[in-house]
Chain A
Amino acid sequence: MTINHRETTYHEVSASADENQFLTFSLGDEEYGVDILKVQEIKGYVPTTRIPNAPHDVVGVLNLRGTIVPIVDIRRKFGMEQIEYDQFTAIVVVVVQNRVMGMIVDSVSEVMSIPPANIQPPPDFGDMNANLLTGMGKVADKLIILLDIDTVLLGENAGMSLAA
């Protein structure tokens, strides 16, 4: 997935009611964002327990204060090259459709507000990947890829889908 950067300059944005807030994280060279309301917590990487015969991107399960939480490696999910987990590796715990799940990302960046006017519809890739995005957010000179986390984690082609 390659995205051309477009150089756009914006004034400092202030949070307001109709702005969406996103938690941003990095994967490789790109910045991704997920709706902050879906995020339950962020924790550092800890080893998981492998689930036998699980899809490639489901690396295992984790004990989150007594709850068994499946963990998805987003790099594997997106077919990206795998890297060693290090001290920046984070697990973003999200709640999608009443399920608690974790995603492993390279590192967590910040929480930012993006006014709807600065969000473009996802570009037409002409393939499956397009519906994994809700749009492209522009903040200062950065372009944030906004993920539709429900589809990413639970969509038809997702390893977490209900159908075994």
Chain B
Amino acid sequence: MNLDMEMFHQTFFEEAAELLADFEGGLLRLETAPDDLETLNTIFRCAHSIKGGSATFGFTEVAQFTHSLETLLDKVRNGQILVDSGLIQLLLESLDQLKALLEVAQGHASEAPSSLPLLAQMDMVIESVEGGASDADGVLWRVRLRFYPGDDVLQRGANPLFLMEQVAGGGHITSLECDISKLPSLKDMNPETCYLGWNIELLSEKDTAYFHEIFEFVADESVVEISAVDAFAEASGQFDQIAETASVPDTRETAKEAGVFVGNPEAAIAPSKTATVAIASAESHTLRVSTDKVDKLINLVGELVINQSMLNSVIQDFSMAKLPRLIEAVAEMERASRELQERVMSVRMLPIKHAFGRFPRLVRDLAAACGKQIDLQTSGEETELDKTVIESIADPLTHLVRNSIDHGLETPEDRRRAGKGVTGIIALHAFHEGGAIVVEVSDDGRGLDKERILRKAIERGMLSATDPAPSDETIYNYIFHPGFSTAERVTDLSGRGVGMDIVKRAIQGLGGFITVSTTPGQGTRFRVRLPLTMAILEGLSISVGEEVYILPLTSIVESIRPGRGDVRLIAGATEVVMVRQEALPLLRLYQIFRSTPIVTDPTQAIIVVVENEGRKVGLLVDALIGQSQVVIKSLETNYRKVSGIAGATIMGDGRVALIIDVPGLVRVSTGRLEYTSAA
């Protein structure tokens, strides 16, 4: 398969993923509004489009499965089958199967569970309304098929071989004749023209529509005739006999000889009953951008071009008289390029509903699995986040939601006893806060059990029983420690103690942090704070000696000029600064960065209080310069990781400024990491 084809495949898979998401959303809507014809139509269209695409690209298994699904949905749409919870369940399972098949087709998974049980279930549902209709599936008949594809069928991207594959999948071929009468001599032959035609006879249980659909995409330019040879309803024994004795040209074999990839239907019959497949998460490397955003970009680039020619005309024969015009033109250009930068960044931004999309289904399934009644509430789905952040945040959020369902929410009986409504609430809430995005996952369950966490922490040796009791906040934060779980039994969902620390690390990896707050008996709220984008940072430039550094604004609490006596030495070694009766460790940046200081007297300098994971530290700097948005550049690409430094950026004057790694410095100050030069 050549590269071009691969490219189309990628597009197909992305479209399929979107269609499946719509499909799922539709199904969940259908559950609450079974009569919504519009939703039904949407679902049907999704299935149909996936079928069309998969057939075009030769994913035979997917196409066959969706075909059955479509047949079923058609009957639902026509009102022949009623929407009930059994049907929704069947459709949801089919959806999972379809996802698994697509994963296999993409090469992310090696094997999907067998489609046969689901297909059989679908057939049962279909048959139950059809009774013994004469021309329906299930009656063996002899089909005569004449297929003469149009000359340009190959140029249109269709592959007759795949079509034949599907025909073969619809029954047992008893005779196949390839008509080569139109084939010209070799020197007159155009390799992109199809000269062949086929006459096929086969025994099939499928109806005429099945065969028509196979050729649906080439029907316009091709001759397709499907007719019955005679009524044929024989005992299955005889059928087998015929199938065995007749010399059936195996199209699949032929295809292999021709060196073409052919989907292997036998793989589906692998004895795998477990419905869950290890599905490799596929991060897509392409981006779908609304044409609206692209149009704005084009407009801005247009403005820049005009600006540039304006500038050109001003600087030709430049005289001082033209100075105001020059200033004006430069200002205009500045505005356009700043806007361009913002808009280009927004191209990478996606609404967070892409990450929220999976939760209705998840909550529904989990609620059923643990016998709880749950109402999922979401808000702020339109909040936009960097694509990379969206892709990486989905898993940690899923874990939080699962955790809230399993640990947070009580069973209906417990809730009734506690005087609450039987239906628990899980709320997902996304919003902007400062230069960051906050996603909150909250429940109205029993809340965290402080005593139990404390007991567990002592058990695990995280603190000793004789120590004074730590603050509530410290106690609740123990749940983020590795291996910490208060669940009395390990369930399917959680309780293995590997969860929360992974969630925390994943979020930190994205440059964000997580906090938890809880009210006993009223619920727990996890608050995830994420940077808007990984590429741009709102920063405060500060000076240390002659050097300029950038502090991420999100980590700054306040900046103060300490008075005399505010900075004290503790135990003759550790410097602290008193900020509102709170003693914070003081780090002199010029010492840490070994720069030549200009100001060493704290009362002449500025202390910037920064915070990470609830720990505050005071940083001694010479002066604050100003606030600006900076583009984060990697130091590691060409150099290496530097402790205390998170990255670099380029200032307005073209020089490089280094961005301070606040979490790293806070760790240094709290003594968890030995810092060679901090002495």
| Residues from 40 to 87 in A contacting B, C-beta threshold 8 Å | 47-54, 58, 60-63, 66-70
What separation, in Å, do the CA atoms of A160 and B594 have in the docked complex?
19
Q: Are B657 and A51 in contact (CB under 8 A)?
A: no
Interface residues on B, range: 20 to 34
Q: Given A68-B648, A164-B641, do A53 and B635 touch, yes or no (CB 8 Å)?
A: no
| Residues from 137 to 164 in A contacting B, C-beta threshold 8 Å | 160, 162, 164
> Which B residues touch A164, using CB under 8 A?
640-641, 643
User: Is A101 on the interface with B (CB-CB < 8 A)?
Assistant: yes
Q: Are B658 and A49 in contact (CB under 8 A)?
A: yes
Q: Are A68 and B635 in contact (CB under 8 A)?
A: yes
Sampled A-B contacts (11; CB under 8 Å): A52-B645, A52-B658, A53-B644, A54-B642, A61-B656, A67-B633, A68-B648, A68-B656, A99-B639, A101-B638, A164-B640
Q: Are B655 and A50 in contact (CB under 8 A)?
A: no
Give the nearest-CB partner of A52 in chain B.
B593
User: Is B78 on the interface with A (CB-CB < 8 A)?
Assistant: no
What separation, in Å, do the CA atoms of A52 and B668 have in the docked complex?
15
User: Is A36 on the interface with B (CB-CB < 8 A)?
Assistant: no
- B639 touches which one: A52, A66, A70 (CB < 8 A)? A70
Q: Are A68 and B654 in contact (CB under 8 A)?
A: no
User: Is A130 on the interface with B (CB-CB < 8 A)?
Assistant: no
Give the nearest-CB partner of B635 in chain A.
A68
What separation, in Å, do the CA atoms of A70 and B634 have in the docked complex?
11
Q: Are A63 and B656 in contact (CB under 8 A)?
A: yes
- A53 touches which one: B634, B639, B643 (CB < 8 A)? B643
> Which B residues touch A119, using CB under 8 A?
none
What separation, in Å, do the CA atoms of A25 and B509 have in the docked complex?
44
User: Is B650 on the interface with A (CB-CB < 8 A)?
Assistant: yes
Q: How many residues of A contact B (CB 8 A)?
A: 24
User: Is A112 on the interface with B (CB-CB < 8 A)?
Assistant: no
> A-facing mask of B655-679, CB < 8 A → 1, else 0?
1111000000000000000001100
Q: Are A63 and B639 in contact (CB under 8 A)?
A: no
Q: Are A49 and B640 in contact (CB under 8 A)?
A: no
Closest CB-CB distance, A107 to chain B, in whole Å? Answer: 24
User: Is A100 on the interface with B (CB-CB < 8 A)?
Assistant: yes
> Which B residues touch A47, using CB under 8 A?
655
> Which B residues touch A61, using CB under 8 A?
635, 639, 648, 656, 658
What separation, in Å, do the CA atoms of A52 and B590 have in the docked complex?
9
Q: Are B645 and A68 in contact (CB under 8 A)?
A: no
What separation, in Å, do the CA atoms of A160 and B547 have in the docked complex?
22
| Residues from 84 to 132 in A contacting B, C-beta threshold 8 Å | 99-101
Closest CB-CB distance, B535 to chain A, in whole Å? Answer: 12
> Which A residues touch B650, using CB under 8 A?
63, 66, 68
> Which B residues touch A63, using CB under 8 A?
650, 654-656
> Which B residues touch A48, using CB under 8 A?
656
Q: Are A67 and B639 in contact (CB under 8 A)?
A: no
What separation, in Å, do the CA atoms of A63 and B658 have in the docked complex?
12
What separation, in Å, do the CA atoms of A58 and B658 have in the docked complex?
15
Q: Given A66-B633, A68-B633, A68-B634, do A49 and B639 touch, yes or no (CB 8 Å)?
A: no
> Which A residues touch B593, using CB under 8 A?
52-53
Q: Given A62-B656, A63-B655, do A160 and B640 touch, yes or no (CB 8 Å)?
A: yes
Q: Are A51 and B594 in contact (CB under 8 A)?
A: no
Binding site for B on A (CB under 8 A): 47-54, 58, 60-63, 66-70, 99-101, 160, 162, 164
Closest CB-CB distance, B285 to chain A, in whole Å? Answer: 20
Q: Are B547 and A49 in contact (CB under 8 A)?
A: yes
> Which A residues touch B658, using CB under 8 A?
49, 51-52, 61
What separation, in Å, do the CA atoms of A155 and B654 have in the docked complex?
30
> Which B residues touch A58, using CB under 8 A?
639
Q: Are A67 and B638 in contact (CB under 8 A)?
A: yes
Closest CB-CB distance, A163 to chain B, in whole Å? Answer: 8
Q: Pick the 5 closest A-B CB pairs, nearest first.
A: A52-B593, A49-B656, A70-B639, A99-B638, A68-B648
> Which B residues touch A70, using CB under 8 A?
638-639
| Residues from 1 to 25 in B contacting A, C-beta threshold 8 Å | none
> Which A residues touch B645, using CB under 8 A?
51-52
- B676 touches which one: A50, A53, A162 (CB < 8 A)? A53
Q: Are A52 and B656 in contact (CB under 8 A)?
A: no
Q: Given A61-B648, A62-B656, A68-B633, do A53 and B594 touch, yes or no (CB 8 Å)?
A: yes
> Which A residues touch B641, using CB under 8 A?
164
User: Is B299 on the interface with A (CB-CB < 8 A)?
Assistant: no
User: Is B595 on the interface with A (CB-CB < 8 A)?
Assistant: yes
Give the nearest-CB partner of A64 in chain B.
B638
Q: Are A53 and B547 in contact (CB under 8 A)?
A: no
Closest CB-CB distance, B479 to chain A, in whole Å? Answer: 32
| Residues from 349 to 363 in B contacting A, C-beta threshold 8 Å | none
Closest CB-CB distance, A153 to chain B, in whole Å? Answer: 11
Give the nearest-CB partner of B653 in chain A.
A63
Q: Are A52 and B638 in contact (CB under 8 A)?
A: no
Interface centre among B638, B642, B656 (most CB of A within 10 A): B638
Closest CB-CB distance, A67 to chain B, in whole Å? Answer: 7
Interface centre among B640, B645, B676 (most CB of A within 10 A): B640
> Which A residues touch B547, using CB under 8 A?
49-50
User: Is B264 on the interface with A (CB-CB < 8 A)?
Assistant: no
> Which A residues touch B657, using CB under 8 A?
49
Q: Are A49 and B655 in contact (CB under 8 A)?
A: yes
What separation, in Å, do the CA atoms of A144 and B450 have in the docked complex?
74
A53-B643, A70-B638, A100-B638 given; 18 more Cβ-contact pairs under 8 Å: A47-B655, A50-B547, A51-B642, A51-B658, A52-B593, A52-B644, A52-B645, A61-B656, A62-B656, A63-B650, A68-B637, A68-B638, A68-B639, A68-B648, A68-B656, A69-B638, A160-B640, A164-B643
Q: Given A63-B656, A160-B639, do A52 and B648 touch, yes or no (CB 8 Å)?
A: no
What separation, in Å, do the CA atoms of A111 and B218 have in the docked complex?
63
> Which B residues touch A69, using CB under 8 A?
638
Closest CB-CB distance, B539 to chain A, in whole Å? Answer: 15
> Which B residues touch A101, using CB under 8 A?
638
User: Is B347 on the interface with A (CB-CB < 8 A)?
Assistant: no
User: Is B516 on the interface with A (CB-CB < 8 A)?
Assistant: no
What separation, in Å, do the CA atoms of A47 and B653 have in the docked complex?
12
What separation, in Å, do the CA atoms of A87 and B637 have in the docked complex?
30
User: Is B366 on the interface with A (CB-CB < 8 A)?
Assistant: no
User: Is B592 on the interface with A (CB-CB < 8 A)?
Assistant: yes
What separation, in Å, do the CA atoms of A50 and B657 have in the docked complex?
9
> Which A residues touch B676, using CB under 8 A?
53
Q: Are B638 and A162 in contact (CB under 8 A)?
A: no
What separation, in Å, do the CA atoms of A49 and B657 have in the docked complex?
7
What separation, in Å, do the CA atoms of A49 and B655 have in the docked complex?
7
Give the nearest-CB partner of B592 in chain A.
A52
Closest CB-CB distance, A129 to chain B, in whole Å? Answer: 23
> A-facing mask of B620-650, CB < 8 A → 1, else 0?
0000000000000111011111111100101
